[in-house]
Amino acid sequence: MEADAKLACILNRRVSTSPSATSDVPYYTEHSATPEEEEPPRWPSTTSQILTFQDFRRQLQIHVRSSANIPHLFQDHINSLPQSFRDRPEIRAVFEAMMIENTWRDEPGAPRIKIINNIDSETTPPWEFHYSNHMWYGSNIPTPNAKKLKGCDCVGRCNPKSNTCACAKRQRILHNLHEDSKFRGFAYDKSGQLVFGDDQYPILECNDMCACDEDCMNRVIQRGRKCKVDLVKTADKGWGVFAAETGKIPKGTYIGIYAGELITDADGESRGKIYNHFGRTYLFNLDSYHLKYVNNEEPEHDDFDNKYVVDAYHAGNFTRFLNHSCAPNCSLFSVYLNTPDLSTPLLALFSTRDIEPREELSFDYSGDQTADAADLPKKADAIHVKCNCGAPNCRGVSFLAKRALLQQLITLCQ
C-alpha cells in the first residue's frame, strides 16, 4: 500500500504528507517544475576534432617492446615449485592457457596449441621463456622510426598488378634483386598462400601506414596463424612441432614468426659461447641474401657481416621448437611489416609443401638444402650432434651451430 501511495503522489505531482515524513518520495508543489519541464543536464563542453588519414599517419607511433621488460615472474614461480608438482597433468593446462593468454590480442582466431607427450613424464616444455609472438628490442637496437615508414594509398584491397600501389612497387624491387625471379606481384595469392615455393625471396606486407583494407591480400602475417599445430615430445629430438590430427597444412601456409629478442651481432656472439657450452641455442642471424645489397656488399660473398640476431631463449613461441631436417617441409622468409629498416626483417616460417596431419614440421637449420655433408664444417664441439631427421638424404650431422654465430655458419635464408 505504501508503494502505491508513493506512486500516486508522483503521478499526481503532489504529496499528501510532509517531505520529512516520506523523504524517499519526490516532493513537488503546484509551482514545482515537473520532471518533463526540468532543464536538461548540462554536459561538460568538449572539443571535437575530425581526424583524416593523413593526421593518423602523422601521429602513428610504432609500439616497441624492450627486452629489459620481458616478463619472467610467472616462470620463476613455476620453476620454484617441486618437480613432483610440475609433473602434474594440471600444469599442462596452465602452459596451454599461457600460450593463449599471451597471443590472443595479435592472433585472436588462432587455433589452440595442444601439448602431447607419450614418451616420458615431462608434462610441458621447460618453463624457461616468456611466450610471445613479438620481437623484443635490445637496449642498443635502434627503434623503428614511424616517420620513415611508407604505406600505400590504395582504397579497398590492393591490386598486385597496380602501377600506383606503393607496396606493390617495393615488392617488385625486392624481386628484382634476384635475377632469376619470375614473380612480379605480391608474395601471396588471393587465398593468402605464399606463391614463392622454395625460393626464399623477401616479403613486403602492407603495414599500419597503408590506407588499404584489413582484408587486403597483402596482409597475411599480421592476421595471425590459421593452421593447427601441436607441441609433441619425440623419442630422440626433444620437443617438436607437428600438424594437428585434424589439420592438414597446404603448401604456402603461414606457420608463425620466429619471435624473440632482437640483439646485435656482438651480443649474439657472447650469448652463443654460453649456449654452445650447453649444447643448445636459439640464435638466428638476420643475414638473408638481399641484405648483402642493403649493406653494400658483394652478393657473391657468403660471409658478409650481419648486424642483428634473433634470440628466442628468453622470449619466443612454438617456432623455437621446430626441429631440423635435411628434407624439410618449411622454410624461413624475411618479412617486412612495421619497420622501415631493411636490416631488421621478421623471420617467418611457411610450409614449402603439403603437410599431412600428425606430420612433424621442420626446416633446414643451415638454410642450404643442397649442401653435402662433405661441404659442412667438421669442427667437433658440443653443438654438433648426430642428425635424427630420418630423411633419405640425411647428411648425418645436425649442426646446432646453425643458430650460433660461428664464422663457418652457412648463410641462413639464402
CATH, residue 105: 2.170.270.10
| pLDDT 10s digits, 64-103 | 999 999 999 999 999 999 999 999 999 999 999 999 999 9
Question: Strand 65-66 vs strand 135-137: parallel, antiparallel, or unpaired?
Answer: parallel
Within a domain: 244: yes
Q: Are residues 252 and 191 in the same domain?
A: yes
Q: What proportion of the chain, given as a percentage, has pLDDT over 70?
A: 73
Within a domain: 55: no
Query: For position 304, what pLDDT does the model report?
Result: 59
Question: What is the three-class DSSP state of 308?
Answer: strand
| pLDDT 10s digits, 385-399 | 567 777 777 766 665
> At residue 113, does pLDDT exceed 80?
yes
Within a domain: 406: no
Within a domain: 337: yes
Q: Are residues 140 and 288 in the same domain?
A: yes
Within a domain: 322: yes
> At residue 47, does pLDDT exceed 70?
no
- The strands making up 346-351's β-sheet, listed across from edge to edge, are 203-204, 330-336, 346-351, 254-257
- pLDDT bin (cut points 50, 70, 90) of residue 24 is very low
> At residue 326, does pLDDT exceed 70?
yes
Give the domain extent around 218: 64-365
Query: For position 54, what pLDDT does the model report?
Result: 78
Within a domain: 410: no
Q: What is the DSSP letter of 236?
A: S
Q: Are residues 28 and 79 in the same domain?
A: no
| pLDDT 10s digits, 139-156 | 999 999 999 999 999 999
Q: Are residues 16 and 142 in the same domain?
A: no
**Cell numbers representing residue 40 in the block:** 536538461
> At residue 8, does pLDDT exceed 60?
no
Q: Are residues 21 and 167 in the same domain?
A: no
Q: Are residues 168 and 25 in the same domain?
A: no
Within a domain: 49: no
Cβ count within 10 A of residue 174: 20
57 vs 140, residue with greater confidence:
140
Q: Are residues 25 and 78 in the same domain?
A: no
> How many structural domains are present in the chain?
2
Query: For position 357, what pLDDT does the model report?
Result: 97
Query: For position 41, what pLDDT does the model report?
Result: 58
Within a domain: 209: yes
> At residue 296, does pLDDT exceed 60?
no
Query: For position 11, what pLDDT does the model report?
Result: 45
Closest CA to 319 of 288, 341, 351, 287: 351
Q: Are residues 7 and 120 in the same domain?
A: no
